[in-house]
Amino acid sequence: MSELLRDAAARASAYLEGLATRKVAPDRATVDRLDALDMALPERGVADATVIATLDALSPATMAMAGPRFFGFVIGGALPVTLAANWIAGAWDQNSAFYNATPATSRIEQIALRWLVELLGLPAETGGAFVTGATVANFAALAAARHVVLGRAGWNVEADGLFGAPPIQVIVGEEVHPSLVKSLGLLGLGRNRVVRVPVDGQGRMRADALPRIATPSIICMQAGNVNTGAIDPIDEICKRAEGSGAWVHVDGAFGLWAAASPELAPLMRGVARADSWATDAHKWLNVPYDCGLAFSRDAEALRAAMAVTAEYLPSVSPFRNPADYTPELSRRARGVEVWAALRALGRDGVAELIDRNCRQARRFAEGLRAGGYRILNEIALNQVLVAFGDAATTQRVIAAIQDEGTCWCGGTVWQGETAMRISVSSWATTDEDVEKSIAAMLRAAKSAGATPSR
């Protein structure tokens, strides 16, 4: 056992050490080697060491997402301490559902949740849950919302479902993330029956365009537009919702982390007035996949929406049962890596990470603008949108950047215009990586025939 684990750790370390110097995207020939795995179900096994060596031979076929110059999507690399914690927790192999069965990981999760509530400036009474990602965090938080707004209308949604229930008005911004809309669909609230509020040029919901708030109602705001990073006017919308009985939810998949930075916190003004929040630790806290977080000011509402009981389950406990707050019953102990990140970074370290990535995003914008290319967004957080010319030219430049391999960025269409999207979200990105990447982008733009405007 220990030889196998030492071998795996050595291979993993070598992989990580190679990330800074390899091309970010895997090359085609390496990816094609994956075909060799696609054999018939083996009748007989092979030695464990052979299995691990076979997997490691495919390491070059991975995208270097954990490396310093991956800027596609909002994907942070795992902080070394969180990967190490993940290995320890993997060895523990706890099914972290009930305190009585898994006291260590249940307590660690509870402590990490308390720290997070404090770090993010949420109300002290807030309860939470570790789930797979923001999609499920939105699902869990909105299940709590559904429980409360229908409960106030005299309807028990967990017991009786939605057939015959009073209709809930669901308000979202025009720029709502599609995964939140999916979560609404899973909750029976419908993907198409939402009321979409117009947004401004950065994708922020326009508080002045909010419709009349009906009863019952759920309002979903966004902190961190996936293209521009813009944050909805949380304080203003919360004020408008006050007294209406509406439940106010904030999807802050990555943007909620701005609340951990004293410099950026003013953007999050009013966040503690909301009723629920969703975020991802696997994005900006840089823990390994997968780890999302659902928070509900009314902890009991989240528990009422999620808890199950059965004679064989050890539900009665002196401490919180993680599974009482999550859609999953069996679950890995995601809180361990979050605890490790917060313990290693401290409040200052988290703020420094967020601020550094935002400063690096501003530097990207400055460098590309100086190179003659158009930046389409205000750099509110860690997102940069750049156009290298018309749609076809921008697409060619993106392909050239991906192919050259110094860094990796994806494309998007922002309010009708094709753009390249740069997300700076990793602890591993140094200022030198940013300069190297800007230079590579400008070289690729030139080679792809983009004309800078001066």
Ligand X SMILES: Cc1ncc(COP(=O)(O)O)c(C=O)c1O
- Residues binding ligand X (CB under 6 A): 74, 133-135, 177, 179-180, 222, 224, 226, 251, 253-254, 280, 292
Enumerate residues 6+ apart whose C-beta is below 8 A from 370. Answer: none
**Distance of closest approach, residue 425 Cβ to ligand X, in angstroms:** 10
The DSSP code sequence of 364-382 is HHHHHHHTT-EE-S--SSS
Choose between 67 and 133: whose C-beta lies nearer to ligand X. 133
Query: Shortest gap between Cβ of 65 and ligand X (angstroms)?
Result: 13
Residue type, 269: R
Q: In the bound complex, which residue of the shown chain has the CB atom lying closest to ligand X? A: 133
Minimum distance, C-beta of residue 284 to ligand X, in the bound complex (Å) = 11
Nearer to ligand X, 73 or 92 (CB): 73
The CB-of-107 to ligand X minimum distance in angstroms stands at: 25
Q: Around Cβ 115, how many Cβ atoms within 10 Å?
A: 18
> Of the two residues 68 and 224, which places its CB atom closer to ligand X in the complex?
224
SS3 assignment, position 189: coil
Residue whose token pair is 């060895």: 91
Nearer to ligand X, 275 or 371 (CB): 275
The answer to whether 69 and 438 are in contact (CB under 8 A) is no
Q: What tokens were used for 372?
A: 């003659």
Interacting residues of 351 by C-beta distance below 8 A, sequence separation 6+: 260, 261, 262, 263
CB of 170 to ligand X, least distance (A): 16
The least distance separating ligand X from the CB of residue 332, rounded to whole angstroms, comes to 16
b/e per residue 180-203 (b: at least 16 CB within 10 A): bbebbeebebeeeebebbebeebb
The answer to whether 142 touches 328, Cβ cutoff 8 Å, is no
Q: How near is the Cβ of 227 to ligand X at its closest, in Å?
A: 9
Nearer to ligand X, 138 or 402 (CB): 138
Here the tokens at position 59 are: 């390491």
CB 182 within 8 A of CB 158: no
Question: Under a CB-based contact definition with an 8 Å cutoff, are residues 295 and 127 in contact?
Answer: yes
Q: What is the rounded (10 degree) CA torsion for 250, 252, 255, 257?
A: 100
Nearest distance, CB of residue 292 and ligand X, angstroms: 5
Closer Cβ to ligand X, 147 or 249, answer by number:
249
**Nearest to ligand X of 337, 444 (CB atom):** 337
Residues constituting the chain:
454
- Please give the torsion angle defined by the CA atoms of residues 334, 337, 343 and 346, in that order, rounded to the nearest 10 degrees: -90
Please, are residues 207 and 238 in contact by the beta-carbon 8 Å criterion? no
Query: Is 282:74 a contact under the CB 8 Å cutoff?
Result: no
For ligand X, give the closer residue by CB, 224 or 389. 224
Q: How far is the CB of 183 from ligand X (least distance, A)?
A: 9
In terms of CB distance, is 112 or 397 closer to ligand X? Answer: 112
Q: How many helices (H) and strands (E) does the chain have?
A: 13, 11
Residue nearer to ligand X on the CB measure, 135 or 228? 135
Question: Both tokens of residue 157?
Answer: 């949604």
CB distance 176 to 220 below 8 Å:
yes
How far, in Å, CA of 95 to CA of 363, rounded?
44
Between CA 63 and CA 73, with CA 69 as vertex, the angle to 5 degrees is 65
Q: DSSP letter at 209?
A: G
Q: Residue 60 CB, nearest distance to ligand X (Å)?
A: 25
Nearer to ligand X, 222 or 228 (CB): 222
CB of 390 to ligand X, least distance (A): 27
Residue 230, SS3 per DSSP: coil
Q: Which is nearer to ligand X, 79 or 136 (CB)?
A: 136
Tell me the closest approach of the beta carbon of residue 129 to ligand X, in angstroms: 14
**Pair 274, 234: CB distance under 8 Å:** yes
